[in-house]
Structure 1
Amino acid sequence: MYHKKAIIIAALLGFLLASAVHGAVPAWDKTFGGVNNESAASVQQTSDGGYIIAGTTFTYGAGGSDAWLLKIDANGSRLWDRTFGGINNESAASVQQTSDGGYIIAGTTFTYGEGGSDAWIIKTDSGGKRLWDKTFGGINNESAASVQQTSDGGYIIAGTTFTYGAGESDAWLIKTDANGNRLWDKTFGGIENEWAASVQQTSDGGYIIAGTTFSYGAGGSDAWLIKTDANGSRLWDKTFGGTGNESAASIQKTSDDGYIIAGTTFTYGAGGSDAWLLKTDANGSRLWDKTFGGVNNEWASSIQQTSDDGYIISGTTFSYGAGGSDAWLIKTDANGSRLWDKTFGGVNNESAASVQQTSDGGYIISGTTFSYGAGGSDAWLLYVLNDESTIATSLLLEVPKSARGFKIIMSVIGLLAAVYIAKKYRK
């Protein structure tokens, strides 16, 4: 019995130390793409247990790039995909399954609309067939970054406008009816550049917006939180930042009626830029914030509160992992303290754009890979088990890329130790 335990311990030791050479291995991952460049910007689990992805393709479709919608089953296999676009460049930034089983997509079009580029929403049925689409814009450039179906069956869109508002660019909020017809729109900004990255309807019927401002706050740019009423009128706004540049990428209302924000900071943390997590109360007052990063650049792209009241963050790291940049997943407790993190990637550049906790407690991540797949870059979908036993990953993440030789030595030592112990106790 003692010998068997020793062999098991040796095997575990060898596995853990050897695992430190590479990033985490997802339960499964899939790439989607052709000979050119593709990327995935947004993912959501669908009512059938599968997934819907919105992204951009340069391989398929009509123009330079097209907005791309992919339906995936629960195991990551493609069921169908659709492209939307004309002779110029289009892209998709956000997708949500709607109450009728179809999908609403937000993105940007250079082919349709009024100006250089327009904000664009596309409504499809459950099979991805386009039912209608709408453009919003003026003579300059506009874009849409986030869309959500609202309680009245319409849609709320957050994006950026260079045509309307006070400054160079303004954060832009657009409300439509169920058929995509504009009911109202609002701009928020000063004399410089602002943009909106994420929007959610709140329980009072209003909206919460996360974005970035160069006009207000302390530094070059600040993360920006805006609360509006149901008609889009600003109730309050808050800026967060220091002397450097900060930005907000994603926001969600939390179970205590406050807000959780994910973004990037150049002022605080360890490296050039760090992933940044901020918790506020219902009035937008900061309760706490946390930074995650190493000596190089990191950023956070997506945030969700998890079933245990903690948070899951997706982002990108240049400090940890295998390649130039790696997709990065960080799990925290309710106070923002890191429980574990995982990196995913190969010898080239990878990034994560979106994360959602799945119905089984795992995590689905969408992003982009230059290491795997068919073309220059591919859309990338990863499913990760909810496994908090991440000793091997933690070992990896605490050792910077500059110490890869050390990691290799440690893995060899671990494997030799495993072999030695196993042989000794077999005698």
Structure 2
Amino acid sequence: MRKYLYKPFVVMLSSVLLWTGWSGSGHAAAPEEAASVQWSHELEGIDVSKTDAKGSAVTVTSDGGYVFVGYRGSSLTEKGASHVVKVNGNGEIVWKNDIDVLDQHGDYSTNRAFAVTETSDGSLLIAGEQIRKDIDRKRRAVPFVFKLSPDGELLWKKNYPDLSYYTQRAELIQKTSDGGAIIGGGARTDNWYPTHTFLLKINADGDVAWYETYSFGFYTYFHNMVVTPDDGVIVTGEKVNSRWGPYSHRFITKFGPNGDQEWEKMKETDEIRAVLPSEDGTFLLTRYNSEEERYYLQKMTETGDILWEKVSDALSASAIGDIVQAQPMEDGFAVISNQSTEYAGKSYKYKVTLTDDNAIPIKKYLFGTHELYISKGGISLDDRGLVYTGTLLTKTETGSKTTFPLAKIAVPGQAPTNPKFSKLRFQTDKLYLAVGQAVHSVVEAVYSDATVTDVTYSSSYNSQDPGIAKADPLGNITGISPGTTVIKATFSGLQASVTVEVTEGQTGPGRFFLDSDEYSLSVGTELDIAAFYTDETGLTSKVTEDTVFAVDDPAVAAVDEYGNIRGISPGVTQITAAFNGHIYRASVWVVRPYTPVH
């Protein structure tokens, strides 16, 4: 893995209004304007002979930034290596990583990232494929998944060559509440026929929890996948019943948290271009009727019931072009489409159409040249604007090359909205307590603009096993008996959890403790610990010099015999202090020192 820091390249485009309409619409024409590009970057391959690069997907992170994934040319591999880029909310590239993988022969192998999701602790799970060569050096694709920390450090990387089919690729990924993910993709035998699909459930360490394959016809393809509240998934796709048959059906189906199929709609005639979750727990479907050449929107429940359907003249193919996806916005929808438009002497390929609640256009924003191709998972739009990635074709002296674009455009016509509550978290993911020891936990609400609010006193708590540890209404957690359990906090419909490990209480009379339950320092800095003992008479003495200290993870922090902690690398660990049979544990948080990106 190679890590870099970069400065942003920022481009601004002027906006000029243009009024357009469509014949027979019965509505006033919506204004069009060229979108303002707030920032953009173009990435190339890292080898002069392999300059091509492609973007696959983007996701918004809980700190208000964005993570882009794709792959680019590398001298180490035949067809490139996975590439991950973290950008903050201002468009500055914070870090970027190339992922190198060795195959079973010890050779660097092609690996390509197709999808990304952020887990509840801010880590990133990226899915794609690794091209391996078997003993006879025959090429095959296997699912490839790797996990990065919020700072871009590689935590683990795994491939799955022993699944049912000879060739499989991970094309879709959705996080689950246990820190793992469900992965979906295509599978086939040692030739092109037939084509099947699979779901692979992994835990937070990348180990396989379950794996299932599905075949609904001679060819079966998954196109969209969204997670449901029970950690199952709703999948849409396409099936063809015979090898030579020209006719296909679309399908929608729900798989439960163990991969069992719970319901299905197998003979859908209209295409399903996109499926996106809504805040109310339902799903927005973008559909296309090819006979009438029009798009429409549907709202669907987790059980597959259609609650409503939106049809508008503005969603005809002639009026809006080829829709990439539509998504719910406050008081309406945002529709991203591919439609060539000439405007102010320039030609644009894409547009964002903001509509009211009846899918009637209010404003349109044009962006992207005809050399730009936006990938299926390469769009994210919220109240801050639209970010995208894909492939940009660029002419060179010897022909052409493809680059990996990252860009954000402003969509100023949207009504201002309050930041949305996006995630609930404990400040630490694990606590160590002695029997009878109590600590005050901190629960935080993270919002879409990266602001964080302490909601400890506003949350409700429950313990998986109150006989091991319990939490009171103020977030104080107390160890009851030895063992391990989970405490869950709930606030405004979202949950967070912390694992609590309780060990035997202190032995002998008196009480031993440190000057804090939690320490925080930067990489490269030091902090001293003070240890105290209160005897049975109530007299408290400082016993630091007679205390033995140890740290759980020396890669994060080190502690010497005098109780001095030194920050080694970003992360969270625990220290253990021992005095005359008494044990006390405390958390240590090591953060990266602030270094502005120039």
* TM-score of the two chains, using structure 1 as the length reference: 0.72
Opposite residue 361 of structure 1, the aligned amino acid is R
Give the Cα separation in 2 of the matches to 1:303 and 1:163.
35
Work out whether 1:28 is the aligned partner of 2:32.
no
Q: Among residues 389, 392, 400, which one is paired with 1:366 in the alignment?
A: 389
* Offset, 1:157: 0.9
* Offset, 1:153: 1.8
Give the Cα separation in 1 of the matches to 2:388 and 2:151.
22
Q: 1:106 to 1:138 in 2, by over 3 A?
A: same
Higher strand share: 2
User: CA-to-partner distance for each residue in 1:126-185, whole Å, 9 max, x for gaps?
Assistant: 232322222234453211122122112221111112149xx8222321111111111112
* Partners of 2:170 and 2:183 within 8 A in 1: yes
Work out whether 1:326 is the aligned partner of 2:337.
no
Q: What does residue range 362-401 of structure 1 map to in structure 2 within 5 Å?
A: 362-370=385-393, 376-388=401-413
Structure 1 unaligned residues grouped into runs of 5+: 1-13, 390-427
* Offset, 1:305: 3.0
Q: What does residue range 204-215 of structure 1 map to in structure 2 within 5 Å?
A: 204-215=230-241
Q: 1:279 to 1:95 in 2, by over 3 A?
A: same
Q: 1:338 to 1:17 in 2, by over 3 A?
A: closer
Work out whether 1:94 is the aligned partner of 2:115.
yes
Q: What does residue range 11-410 of structure 1 map to in structure 2 within 5 Å?
A: 15-17=16-18, 23-34=34-45, 36-58=51-73, 62-86=77-101, 87-111=108-132, 116-136=140-160, 137-163=163-189, 168-215=194-241, 220-239=247-266, 241-242=268-269, 247-248=271-272, 250-262=274-286, 266-269=290-293, 277-286=297-306, 287-288=308-309, 291-294=315-318, 298-300=322-324, 302-306=325-329, 308=330, 310-317=332-339, 319-320=340-341, 326-346=349-369, 348-351=371-374, 353=376, 354-358=378-382, 360-370=383-393, 376-388=401-413
* Offset, 1:207: 1.8
* Offset, 1:362: 2.3
Give the Cα separation in 2 of the matches to 1:268 and 1:380.
35
Give the Cα separation in 1 of the matches to 2:246 and 2:304.
19
What secondary structure sits across from 1:110 in the alignment?
A: strand
Q: 1:363 to 1:57 in 2, by over 3 A?
A: same
* Offset, 1:236: 1.0
* Partners of 1:331 and 1:338 within 8 A in 2: yes
Opposite residue 350 of structure 1, the aligned amino acid is Y
Give the Cα separation in 1 of the matches to 2:405 and 2:226.
25
* Partners of 2:84 and 2:98 within 8 A in 1: yes
Identity %: 22
Task: Give the aligned CA root-mean-square deviation in angstroms.
Answer: 3.8
* Partners of 2:35 and 2:410 within 8 A in 1: no
Give the Cα separation in 2 of the matches to 1:60 and 1:74.
32
Give the Cα separation in 1 of the matches to 2:289 and 2:348.
18
Give the Cα separation in 1 of the matches to 2:176 and 2:133.
25
* Offset, 1:214: 2.3
* Offset, 1:292: 5.0
* Offset, 1:194: 1.2
* Offset, 1:249: 5.0
Give the Cα separation in 2 of the matches to 1:259 and 1:107.
25
Give the Cα separation in 2 of the matches to 1:69 and 1:263.
31
What secondary structure sits across from 1:294 in the alignment?
A: helix
What secondary structure sits across from 2:17 in the alignment?
A: helix
| Paired positions, count | 363
Give the Cα separation in 1 of the matches to 2:169 and 2:111.
10
Q: 1:50 to 1:292 in 2, by over 3 A?
A: farther
Q: 1:380 to 1:372 in 2, by over 3 A?
A: farther
What secondary structure sits across from 1:151 in the alignment?
A: coil
* Offset, 1:104: 0.4
Structure 2 unaligned residues grouped into runs of 5+: 1-14, 21-30, 102-107, 415-598
Opposite residue 320 of structure 1, the aligned amino acid is T
Match of 1:8 in 2: none
What secondary structure sits across from 1:64 in the alignment?
A: coil
Q: Which has the larger radius of gyration?
A: 2
What secondary structure sits across from 1:387 in the alignment?
A: coil
Q: 1:18 to 1:190 in 2, by over 3 A?
A: closer
Give the Cα separation in 1 of the matches to 2:151 and 2:395.
28
Opposite residue 127 of structure 1, the aligned amino acid is D
* Partners of 1:160 and 1:172 within 8 A in 2: yes
Give the Cα separation in 1 of the matches to 2:180 and 2:93.
29
What secondary structure sits across from 1:148 in the alignment?
A: strand
* Offset, 1:326: 2.2
Give the Cα separation in 1 of the matches to 2:96 and 2:396.
17
* TM-score of the two chains, using structure 2 as the length reference: 0.53
Give the Cα separation in 2 of the matches to 1:247 and 1:89.
33
State which drifts further: 142-151 or 183-192: 183-192
Give the Cα separation in 2 of the matches to 1:348 and 1:367.
11
* Offset, 1:110: 0.9
User: CA-to-partner distance for each residue in 1:26-80, whole Å, 9 max, x for gaps?
Assistant: 2333222246222222112223322110112125764422111011122223222
* Offset, 1:103: 0.9
